[in-house]
Each structure stands twice: as C-alpha cells, then as structure tokens.
Structure 1
Amino acid sequence: MLHTGRAAQALEDNLHRFTGYDRALSDDLTAYRAALCGLAPMSAHEICSRLPGGPSGARPTEEWEVHRAPVLAFGVAMRNHEEARAWAAETLFDRITFASDGSQIQPMPDISVPVAAVQVGWFENPHNPKVPYVKDVRVEVLPPDQVFVARGGVSVFSDQAVSLRRFALEVDVLCEWMHDHAGVRPAPVAFFDGSLVVSFAERLEPETRDFYIAQAVRLLRTSEETRVPLVGYVDNSRARDLTTMLGHLIPALDRGENVTDAGILRGLMRWGDRTPAWTCAREGVLAAYRVGDSDEETFLGDRVCFVYLKTAEPQVPARLDLPRWVVEEGLAEDVVQVVRAECVVGNGYPYAIETADAVAVITAEDRRRFYGLFEQFAERNGIRLTVASKIQSKDRRR
C-alpha cells in the first residue's frame, strides 16, 4: 500500500525540479516554434542544401514547395458536433476503411506444458448502409517448441516470441487485405496502429530487430504495389524528426531531449489542421530498410513520409506515417481527409482502429477461459499437465 502522506512530501521536496523542468521546456518550445515558422520563406531546395547529406531528422517533400507553411489550415467551419458528424458521414460515404489490431496470451511459467496464443481482430467498414461491415478474428496457438528458449543454461519461456508472432499476424492481415483491394476505387484506406518506422527495434537483438524491419518493409512494399494507401497512426508521438531537422538548420537551438515534434506543433494548430508531408530521415533503423540481395538491393529508408494532424483538443497532434508514393501521387490530402472523418466518428481517434482494438482485445477473464480450454484439451488427449502449488494456493485464497 502506498503511503500517500510520505509520497506527497516527496513530491513537495522536488517541487523546484518540476517547476524548473516546466519553465525550461516552455522556453525551448517557444524557440522551436519560431524556428519552424521561420522556414516559410525558404524553398525545399534551400532547406535541403543546409542539411547534412546523411540522416537529418526530416526533409521537405513536394508539399512544402506548394504551400511553404508549417501548418495547413483545415478551412471547414463546423458549429457543433452534429455538423461535424454530418460532414464525416458525407466524406466517408462509399469509402472503405480497414484496421487490424492484436492481443496475446503469454505462456504461464507455473504450468508444466507451455502454451501461448495470439488473436488479431479486424474491422472493415464500407461506409455504405447497403453493404455490411466485417468484424472478424484470426487466432493462432503457439505450442511448446515455439515459446521455449534456452538462455544461460535454463529453459525459459519467450514472451518476445509471442509478441513477434502477434506483430507478424497483424501485418499478414493488413497485407492480405491490401492485395484483395488493389484496384478498388475510390482507393480504400488501411490503418496500422503504430509507426511505420520501427525505431523501438534498435534496442533488440539483431535477429529480432531485422524481423521487425522486414515486417515494416513488407507493409510499405505492399501498399506501393497494390496502390492502397496505408496510414501508420501514432496518437501520442514522441518523435523528434522535425526537432532534429531544426537543430541542424539552427545550431544555436537547445537540443533538449524533451522537445518533441508534437509539442512544437501543439501551439500552432487547431482542430483539423495538418502539416505538409515531410520525408522521415531519422538516424538508425531506416538505414536497414532494404530489399533484395547485395547484387541488386533496393533502399527503402527514404520511402516513409509523415504528417501531423490535429484530431482533438487540447491534445497534441497525432502523427500519420504514409508511404512516400501516397505523397508523390498527390493523395496525401485525400488520405488525411479520411483520417479526419474517422476521428470525428471516433471522438478524436480513428473509429476503425478503435473498433479493431475492441474486436481483438483479450481480457483477464478470457485468459482464464483459454487456460481452462487448454486443461480440458490436455486431459482429453492424455497430455500430462501440472500446475505449480503457488498458483493453486492463490486460486484457493481468491
């Protein structure tokens, strides 16, 4: 139990640190906002000429050349939520959207036979009352040979193996759907819940890192091959791509790690506003976005663009990762318009992703039911199964 009195005193003891952090961050954000707005007179060529040849955080796309503004106003006035919902319904009519999401059941170390499961749910919405929507799931069980690993002379369960399978299954479902909807017009929009730049993988073992990179590359290639727009949606991004770019352009800026792109843009945007598309030029993982062999290798690390979109007040803007072909073919605004409308229906969050999450979610009760099914399965098939005394004791006490 938390001793709230002592915790409150500990907070008071550190008050000066919190207020100092807040003041410093506010000053840094003000400086970065001014720097971003100061780019308006510059052409894309001028900006790029001042950036290093390698990773620079971000680079302007053709959209910057058209608009030369850090924020593009939405420009549609809606007096109330009823008008907003009517606008969203009109925008989305007959436009297919799709999202997938996943959940998992990790192996329990207190059960003698390891087993895990992943479930990916999806939601396809045709936005046409004459055509039914689709909600469905795919479930896979991971048997012992897929969850046991030897580490340090001890056999342990690999939570990572389960996470990898879940991620791959989410990508499988999205790629299959994009292939099935190639050529459909108006172009459907697929949502991936997360960034298309898998920077988190840099902290992992090389084999695991390469796996995540391969899945991200598969999403990018499938979208480009099928010409189905894909949105990697990040609700509360901590990315610093624009921040890094501004640091290169204006070396005098304080490169504090607490300044984020979304934090800079928050003070410049109203609901529905977006940024022009930027090419992601982040250091690290994008260097490994390649396909083919050493004789004929194609670099895809420059094929991810991003847009920030204000989807709710007073939150920071969301980040939308887009395959570069979407920007090159002039479809960025069309795709962003679909995201805006989805966020009206979902009250600040894409309804497609929200619904896919609800379809895929596995609750604590679901996990108990799964292990009950597994016990019945083991008994029916003569598989010896033992449960640790600790678990039995906990169950009796509960």
Structure 2
Amino acid sequence: MLDITKLAGQMPALGQHFRQEATAGHQRLERAKELFFQAQQRQSYLLNTLTEWGDRLFFAVARPLEPLDTRVNIGEAPVNHSVFATDGSQIAPSHHEIAYCYLLNIGRVMLHYGQNLHPLLDSVPEVYYRPEDLYASRRWGIRTEEWLGHRRTVLEAERLAALACRWVSPPGPHSDPNLAMVDGSLIYWFLENLPQEARNQILEPILAAWETLRQARIPLMSYISAPRSVESINLLRLQACPHESPNCVSHCEGCQAEERKTPCQIFDPLRDSNLWKEFLSPGQRGPIWHSNARILEAYAPEQRVCFCYVQGSSEVARVEFPVWLAEDSELLDQSLAIVLSQIEKGFGYPVALAEAHNQAVVRGGDRRRFFALLEQQLVRTGLRSIGTSYKEARKRNTVV
C-alpha cells in the first residue's frame, strides 16, 4: 500500500526540480530554433557534410527530402475510404501458473466510411506451448518473455496484411482508398542487437507482409504519439559542431568515454516534437525525412522508412511510412489526410488504433478465465497434479 502522507513530503522538491527543468528547456528550445534558421540557409552544405562524414558520427541523423521550411496543409480525407489496424497484447509465461505457456492476442479493426459497410472489431488469440515456441530463442540468449514480444510484432504485421488484402478486394483503378495503420515505429531498433538468425526470423515475415501491402497498393503508416525521437533535430548538431569537419571519432571520442556531453549537444535532451511544435499549425505536416537508422540496412530498399511530423488537434505526432509511399506524392497526401481524419475522429488519437488496442488488451478477468479454461482441459486429459505455486496462491489470497 502506498503511504500518501510520506509521499507528500517529497512533492515540494519534485515540483521545484521540474520548474527549473522547464526554464532550462525553454532556453534550449530557443537555441535550437536559432540553429534551425541557420540550417535552413545551409541545408545543401549540411547534407553534403552528412554524406561525407555520416559514418564518423556517433549519432543518427535523418536526411530531409524537402526543404526544412516545408509546411504542407493536409487536405480533406476522401469521403469513401477504409482503414485497417491491428494491435497486440499477451499473457506472459510464468512458472507459477498451472502450465508454462503464453498467449498472444491480436486486435483487428476494419472501419469503412461512406460505403454502407459493417465494421470489423475483433481479436484473434493464439496459444504457444510447444518446446520450440518456449525454449528455441534461448540458444541465442533471448529470454522467452522477450521473444514473445518480438513474435507479437510479427503477428500484428501478418494479421494487418491479411485484413487489408484478403477481407477487402485490393484497390483497383476505381476502388475506394484504403489505409493500413499500426501503432509505434516501423523501425525495429530492438533487432540491432539480435543475432542474425534470430533477426531474420522476426524481420523476414514482417517485410513479407509489408510487401503484400505494397503489391496491393495499400499504403502503410505508423502513428507515434508523444515521440521521443531526435533523428531530425540531430541535423542541427552538424550546424552546431565547432570543428571544421564533424568527425566524432577524432574530436569527441574522449567525451564518449567520459560520458560527457559533446560540444554539439547544447540543446540536449530536446526532442524532435519539441521543435516541430513551434513551427507547425494544426492540420499541417513538416518536411519528409529519410531515416538513417542502422537497422534499415536489413530492409529492402523500397521498404526503408521515411517519416514526417504532423500537428494534429492536440499533439505533434511522428508518422512513418515506407519509401515507396514517399515516392508517390498523391497517394502519400491522401494517406496523411486519412490519418488526420482518424485523429479528429478519435479526439486526438487515431480511432482505428484506439479500437485495435481495446480489442487486443488482456485484462485481469481475461487472464483468470484463460487459466481456468486451461485447467479444465488439463483435468479432462487425466492430469491431477495441477495448480499454481504456493507463492502465486498466497499473493492472490491475502489475509489483510
């Protein structure tokens, strides 16, 4: 039980700290804005510098594909269109339960607008209990709990492609527009540290699902609420670099070793969204950027990730999409219009993604019913010595 009385004594110091941070944050933002205006005038030079010295930088810098001062008013969504979304949740394996297994639950949503068609809102659960599901990842040093999260990402992509491409006819010359949406980044940073074989088992089916969408000309977009990325603001670090050449290996290796800030980190820890909030009006997007994240080298060229920042009704969000969509300006504009429409319908967050999450989430009652159903099945098969551990039983039945 949380002792609120004892906690209240810590609040004044906490409040003072955040007040000081807010003041310092405003100063960092003003400095970043100065560098941004300078970078606008030197964009070509900075991009040439990035090309020449990119492999010597200690940080990832996205490449703008449009002028930095780009501001585009996003148009109205087509009257007739469909939106598809998936999201996932899980019941993690536990040695304290009656059986060591895990469950992945993928929420699916299909919403039609202006077409007089019924929506789809459901979930597809799948139980994993075989040794190859539970223990195969350990040969790479990956815990089962971590591996199930990666497997969930795969299922979300596969279910999304199936939903968009098979439940509804792929778009033709006269069909209504479609959009496939996911929550979170399309850049799977977590794969960088996995062994190649493990990485392939996760990434290959995801990219295959994306390719299915591309072949059907169904645009894919991800929505990142409250983004913490610094990929675009890192371009300003090149502008702020005090050295003639931004060679981090030569000039700043000592800072890395001593965990000190480098000279170009004068606005750290400012995020991309903090900066773009200053420049975008509601209903606008900024320039399109091509991510230079290292993991994207494992993606097919047409599936590498671009992004832009969009000012919705309540926040600046990061919207990601594959390169092939960025190269089709008409389809890109149409897709962003649908995303903005989803934000408005969801009162600040895309309604399709919110509903996919609601369909996927596994609550406490769902967990209890799952294990009760499993226990009944084990008894039917003739097993008798089943039950939770004493630790789990004691936690569920307190004496207080």
TM-score normalised by L of structure 1: 0.81
Instruction: Look up the match of 2:391.
Output: 390
User: What is the deviation of 1:93?
Assistant: 2.5
User: Which of 276, 297, 306 is 1:265 aligned to?
Assistant: 276
How many pairs are equivalent?
A: 365
**Cα distance in structure 2, aligned partners of 1:218 and 1:30:** 44
Instruction: Look up the match of 1:304.
Output: 305
The answer to whether the 8 Å contact 1:217/1:300 transfers is no
Instruction: Look up the match of 1:59.
Output: 63
Instruction: Look up the match of 2:238.
Output: 248
Where structure 1 has 5 or more consecutive residues not aligned to the other structure, the ranges are: 77-86, 291-298
The answer to whether the 8 Å contact 1:123/1:133 transfers is yes
AA matched with 2:373: L
AA matched with 1:100: T
Instruction: Look up the match of 1:160.
Output: 146
User: What is the deviation of 1:372?
Assistant: 0.6
User: Which of 99, 110, 114 is 2:100 aligned to?
Assistant: 114
Which string of whole-angstrom CA distances, capped at 9 and with x for unpartnered residues, describes residues 345-387 of structure 1? 1001111111111122211100000001001111111234232
Instruction: Look up the match of 1:348.
Output: 348
The answer to whether the 8 Å contact 1:278/1:306 transfers is yes
Q: Which 10-residue stretch deviates more, 208-217 or 266-275?
A: 208-217
Relative to 1, partners in 2 of residues 1:191 and 1:49: Cα closer, same or farther, differing over 3 Å? same
Q: Secondary structure at the match of 1:238?
A: coil
**Cα distance in structure 2, aligned partners of 1:151 and 1:168:** 15
Percent of aligned pairs with the same amino acid: 24
AA matched with 2:389: A
Which string of whole-angstrom CA distances, capped at 9 and with x for unpartnered residues, describes residues 306-362 of structure 1? 01111133x3x1110011111211132221111111111100111111111112221
The answer to whether the 8 Å contact 2:80/2:177 transfers is no
The answer to whether the 8 Å contact 1:114/1:147 transfers is no
Mapping 1:72-221, distance limit 5 Å: 72-74=72-74, 91-146=77-132, 148-149=134-135, 158-180=144-166, 181-184=169-172, 185-202=175-192, 208-221=198-211
**Cα distance in structure 2, aligned partners of 1:237 and 1:101:** 18
The answer to whether the 8 Å contact 1:69/1:276 transfers is yes
The answer to whether the 8 Å contact 2:312/2:348 transfers is yes
- Tell whether 2:16 aligns with 1:28: no
**Cα distance in structure 2, aligned partners of 1:286 and 1:225:** 20
Instruction: Look up the match of 1:295.
Output: none
The answer to whether the 8 Å contact 2:273/2:309 transfers is yes
Instruction: Look up the match of 2:245.
Output: none
User: What is the deviation of 1:275?
Assistant: 0.8
Relative to 1, partners in 2 of residues 1:16 and 1:210: Cα closer, same or farther, differing over 3 Å? farther
Instruction: Look up the match of 2:323.
Output: 324
Q: Which 10-residue stretch deviates more, 233-242 or 197-206?
A: 197-206
Q: Secondary structure at the match of 2:171?
A: coil
User: What is the deviation of 1:4?
Assistant: 4.0
**Cα distance in structure 2, aligned partners of 1:209 and 1:4:** 45
The answer to whether the 8 Å contact 1:40/1:70 transfers is no
AA matched with 2:171: G
AA matched with 2:69: A
The answer to whether the 8 Å contact 2:63/2:292 transfers is yes
AA matched with 1:238: R
User: What is the deviation of 1:392?
Assistant: 2.9
The answer to whether the 8 Å contact 1:196/1:232 transfers is yes
Q: Secondary structure at the match of 1:241?
A: coil
The root-mean-square deviation of aligned C-alpha atoms, in Å, is 3.0
The answer to whether the 8 Å contact 1:47/1:60 transfers is no
**Cα distance in structure 2, aligned partners of 1:189 and 1:129:** 15
User: What is the deviation of 1:209?
Assistant: 4.5
**Cα distance in structure 2, aligned partners of 1:150 and 1:27:** 51
User: What is the deviation of 1:128?
Assistant: 2.7
The answer to whether the 8 Å contact 2:84/2:110 transfers is yes
User: Which of 298, 301, 324 is 1:288 aligned to?
Assistant: 298
Q: Secondary structure at the match of 1:51?
A: helix
**Cα distance in structure 2, aligned partners of 1:189 and 1:150:** 35
